Amino acid sequence: MEPDDGVLLFSDVSANTIYQVGADDEITEFREPTRYTNGLAVDPQGRLIAAESASRRVTRTERDGSVVPIAERFEGARLNQPNDITVRSDGTIYFTDPAFGDAAAQAELDFRGVFRIAPDGRLTAEYRGETSETPNGLALSPDESLLYVTDYAAGLVRVSTSLPTALFRKPGRSQTSRVQTAWRSTRMATCSSHPMTAAPSRSSLPMANSGASSTCQPARPTARSVGLTAAPCTSRRGLP
């Protein structure tokens, strides 16, 4: 089953279900079970891209309804726990790969990362963070020149400033001078919003944020974030 035009898809992780909201605001079940899918996005061809946390993979739903894995392993190891996804207009896919709870004990990779799937299917690690880090939500700037990634544990937003080819690492690891300047961190706002992750179909963008609410308060500055401005908080229901 593929998404209908003009609908909003959202994942209810704890219910192991993806729902869809039609133009008439009717909510119906789109897929169950989902292997505890979290992040959702739609590629330029209108196909659903999903981060399946329980199966530790990223999948694409084809036009015939078949679900095809597009990322499962990196350098011979299984992914940790794909969490959130965003897609560029050229078809490049970015996703975060933290490890929460039991997934941390089962992790095969020695880092928590941000990955890129190129339009030709090649998988690369765009960020290799320490195992204490938790890369979570991510989004592209409107002109697609910046990639924003939240670190849930550190209360930071990291920004990559050299897309799409930069490989950026945490300071202290082996890296070039260019890599050191490829990202920066900023203090993250503390947000309270709808607990589900949404992905509108390509023709439903005007309604993507309808009905969503969010309240934000600045987080207390940390040693790593003093002097940097807070990133804006947006609801998780819909694309920024």
- 178-213 tens-digit pLDDT: 333 355 655 544 333 333 334 444 333 322 333 333
Locate 78 and state its tokens.
Answer: 């299984």
Task: Give mean pLDDT, residues 99-113.
Answer: 92
CATH code at position 99: 2.120.10.30
In a domain, 80, yes or no: yes
> Which of these, 28, 20, 85, 31, lies nearest to 53 by C-alpha position?
85
Alpha helices in 16-127 (DSSP H): 102-106
In a domain, 17, yes or no: no
Query: Bigger pLDDT: 237 or 22?
Result: 22
Locate 135 and state its tokens.
Answer: 């890369």
- 116-128 tens-digit pLDDT: 999 999 999 999 9
What's residue 180's pLDDT?
31
Eight-class DSSP state of 106: H
| 3 state SS of 183 | strand
In a domain, 173, yes or no: yes
- 60-73 tens-digit pLDDT: 999 999 999 999 99
In a domain, 214, yes or no: no
In a domain, 6, yes or no: no
Eight-class DSSP state of 173: B
In a domain, 130, yes or no: yes
- 153 pLDDT band (50/70/90 cuts)? confident
Calculate the alpha carbon distances from 59 to 150, 176, 218 in Å.
Answer: 22, 33, 35
Residue 60 belongs to domain spanning: 34-192
